[in-house]
Chains A and B, each alone.
Chain A
Amino acid sequence: MMAGEMLKSAVMAIDEINQSDAFDFAFVPHLRDPGGVVSAYHTACADLIRDEHVDHIVGCYTSASRKQVIPIVERTERLLWHPARYEGFESSDNVIYVGAAPNQHVVPLVRYMLDHISGDVFCIGSNYVWTWETNRVIREIVTSAGGRILAERLLELGETAVDHIVKEIIDRKPPVVFNTLVGESSYSFMRALHAATTRAGLMIPMLSCSLCEPELKLIGSAASVGCLASSAYFESIEGSENHAFVARWKARHGADSTPSVDGQSTYVCVMLLARAICRAGSADVGAVRHAAANHRYDSPQGPVWVDPDNNHCFLTPRLARSVPGCQFKIFWEADAPERPDPYLSNLDLTAIGTRPEKSNDAISKRSNHLRVVK
């Protein structure tokens, strides 16, 4: 159940599996595109199970669509392979969550902001659950470290009238802007903010947990440079698996084409599924779920495996800066894949803001939250 970048990646993975000798079965895809209409996901999923007798469903991008599908897969004991990163606070036995949990994408970026930019942050986002929950996490971490939320501005989904907020940012000159806008709202905002900061001679860092390479192209080369993004996947990841993946992608979709985090994650979903079926010796949902648990797959984004405690994946968090050419340059990555924590139960707020490696700064508790001074 998908379209666009996710579909391209799923079809690519299916073709590779069907052509590979490593798998003694072939996937027959049944495609449904509910087109982002939330109520249509329930019907599409029910149709797939009743008419096509599918056992495994790959797809759903938004949380609203996933929540439409979960009751059906739970009732009929099917498995949904969900590629998108999301805000957490969910854990169904009938979903394999392959996108990042909040501890794997939001928390690392907020930590970095506190340690290297500022604890005083201006938040702007789209008025829905992703922003509400991300802002809550930011607020919790930032305030426990002695920082402040300078503003929390919300735009309706799809809204592109951003000038009043850009003006406020130019007037108030916050040390950092955290952007949880999505789609056209985000592109319009980034273009307008870039134009305004350039005119005013300001340099205000902008952070995002969702920005990906294809979006940099949509924003435009100038306005898209210099953003800090958090993601488990960037096209620029070094490593033979990713180099080969990107080469295959470009051979298929054109040299100018770029895989995105969600596309790559969809590819990983299909690969995890195929490998689990292989190990289980059947497509039976219980057997596949069992076979997928703790089974490491060296994917384009590095080692990935399912944590059977919560059905989310061990992933490697990464931070990168957007550079000319609509690419990201990675400047930090975790030493090893990080255990998923969808309920942020292990988030230790007391350890943030007083990090041990910085404790000998001996100036003040806030000394590790360096301000960019101009």
Chain B
Amino acid sequence: MEFGGLTPTIIGTSLLQIGIAVAVLVGGIALLETLLLGVTKVARVRNRLYIALLVPAIAGLLLLIVYPVLYEFRLAFSDMSLRTFRNPTFGFAQFAANMRRLFTMPVLKQVYFFPLLGRTIFWTVSQVSIHVSLGMLLALLLNTNIRLKWLYKAILILPWALPDVISGLAWRSEFHFEFGFPNLVLQAIGLEPIQWKANPIWNWVAINITNIWLGIPFMMVICLGGLQSINREYYEAARIDGAGVLRQFRSITLPLMKPILTPAVILGIIWTFNNFNVPFFINEFELESSDILVTALFRAAFQYNNYGFAAAFALVIFAILLAISLLYLKATGGLKEMRE
């Protein structure tokens, strides 16, 4: 008896696994609380309740985020690969070898680290600026008193509402040479169809088109929220003083939007820099010329199985991302606003 891939055995197995997961979660928390109760009793801590409420979540985060980060450091000092998975060697020599390999040899087969870094930075800067400027344009258009605003808003937000796995894979299908709509449209207006998947340059363009489509709505919504929070009286005052539309935008809109735009742009930078799904899915032929840092990292780890090297690679990427975010915060003074 089979129905849509579901058989009683499969259902039983998955239910059993879910049961184990529940048991692990409940048992883990119970164990933790009991330990805590003992320790705080011995140490005579007063007001133990808040610690008891706090500890499961904090322990989970330590286990799942802090410990892996520390473990990643350890892995970076190893030569772990598929061959040495059981008994890797740890040491400074391995770390040095990983770093040397990262900076002087191809990260995958052909592409080197620095061109990859340059491409990723170019990708992040160009994508985020396009998202913000087009998102702002749409927000300004929607912030007027026109009819059918709700309809436009509902349609324009769609690319953000869709799971990006779906849109990524759907776009990947549409970049098909014969049957995808971009090529059909090109042919309909009398142009040559494009090799979106095989040609490195056009594949890169395809990735960018997809991500622009995906990224605009978020910035549009953020900008619209910001615009609506600005008091109209500022504009009236500016108009009386004879300020034009552009001047109003530069002197009123932008400065007042800064507290909202700063975190949104940081989020945009982090998301775009780390965007895995779009460059991974659209790049169907696994062209190294379409990889950005995170997809190259994934391939180094899971296609070439060089875990130690990939861990070192991941640390370098994280350091770069942190530096970029801090620089941006410093440049815009957002850090002060955050501290308040």
- A, B bound: no
Interface residues in chain B, defined as those with a beta carbon under 8 Å from any beta carbon in chain A: none
